[in-house]
Structure 1
Amino acid sequence: MNATANKTAQVISSEELLKHLQGHRNLTRRTIEAFPEKEFFSHSIGGMRTFAEMTMELLGIAGPGIQEIVSGKSAPLDEHVEHGNSKEKILQLWDEATEQINTLWPQISTERFQENILLFGMYEGTVISSIFYFIDNEIHHRGQGFVYLRSLGVEPPAFYER
């Protein structure tokens, strides 16, 4: 196989990758929903951030990251969103980001996934490695959220039901 063929070889389609990403986002949304309102903003273990703070990080990455990939316009990473200590507001912002991703995704060409970018002006990699980071980071924080839920006596959603 030549170098050109390697760059265009595809294991999954763009649509399948979007479905995978959105499956994880759906599971994280259900994790947010499972939290009691007060503990979502206040509960932590071992000095870790609250799940609300972790969720704000995720909100600062996925939607804005896809926006940057599509537009090519870099903006600083912003992990702070105005939510008024309302889980409903966070869920609304989550849903808006989900729709933003769905709207922007078709604008990412297959070739673009292999292009190098400097995401948020500081994270160098390819478009695909950045998207994998979005997914991996979300899984990591959702796992922390699962631990928080269990410590509160709340059964987290089944991790495999995306």
Structure 2
Amino acid sequence: MENIMEKTSQVITPDQLLEHWQGHRRLTRKVIEAFPENEFFNHSIGGMRPFADMVMELLGIAEPGLREMVTGVPAQLNEHFEHNNSKERLLEAWDKATDDINTLWAKMKEMDFQKEIVSFGQYPGTVQSSLFYFIDNEMHHRGQGYVYLRSLGIEPPMFYDRS
């Protein structure tokens, strides 16, 4: 009898996925930096939230969601951060979350990316689908930030510049 081993192909490694995600985070940071302080907190089009509110949502999802995956400790979805209308304060929070994501990712070496989870106690999926959601959601809101910047007469960063 033949011994047939199941073969799986891997399209991307976990470290490549992290670099892809962090590239998006670097680009989103450039978008945040491009906003004038007042418009970052107040500019809106068509009833959409100011970009600062979208950034707080991203801060409330990425690092806390990854921490929940790594530790197994349920996380609360919190999209409000004390910032005193300071873009610099939110950039500091962004940078801290970026560093924390790298630290947490290092603990995911043996993570089953197909494991079923419920993010924030309310969003079922897999580790992989949740990570993809975190990245997709960031790209979606960054696109809104691009529209805002253009409406303000500001050229946004090139969408492919993730350095």
For the aligned pair, the TM-score class normalised by the smaller chain equals: over 0.9
Aligned to 2:92: 92
Distance 1:4-1:55 versus aligned 2 partners, 3 A rule = farther
Are the aligned partners of 1:14 and 1:110 in contact in 2 as well (CA < 8 Å)?
Answer: no
1:83-103 C-alpha deviation (Å, 9 max, x unpaired): 110000000000000000000
Flag as ranges the 4+ runs of structure 1 deviating above 6 A: none
TM-score by length of 1: 0.94
Corresponding residue for residue 61 of structure 2: 61
Q: Which has the higher helix share?
A: 1
Shift of the 130–4 alpha-carbon distance from structure 1 to 2, 3 Å rule, reads farther
Provide the C-alpha distance between the structure 1 equivalents of 2:24 and 2:98, rounded to a whole number of angstroms. Answer: 11
How does 1:123-138 map onto structure 2 within 5 Å? 123-138=123-138
Identity rate of aligned residues, in percent?
Answer: 64
Structure 1, residues 87-134: CA drift from partner, whole Å, max 9, x if none?
A: 000000000000000001021135421101000000000000000000
Q: For this pair of structures, how many residues does the alignment match? A: 159
User: Normalising to structure 2: TM-score of the pair?
Assistant: 0.94
Matches within 5 A, 1:109-120: 109-120=109-120
Give the partner amino acid of 2:29.
Answer: R
Unaligned 5+ segments in structure 2 are: none
Structure 1 stretches lacking a partner, 5+ long: none
CA RMSD of aligned residues (A): 1.4
Question: Counterpart of 1:114 in 2: which secondary structure?
Answer: coil
Q: In the TM superposition, what whole-angstrom CA distance separates every residue of 1:19-63 from its partner, at most 9, and x where no partner exists? A: 000000000000000000000000000000000000000000001
CA distance in 2, matches of 1:50, 1:112: 37
Question: Secondary structure in 1 aligned to 2:112?
Answer: helix
Higher gyration radius (CA)? 2
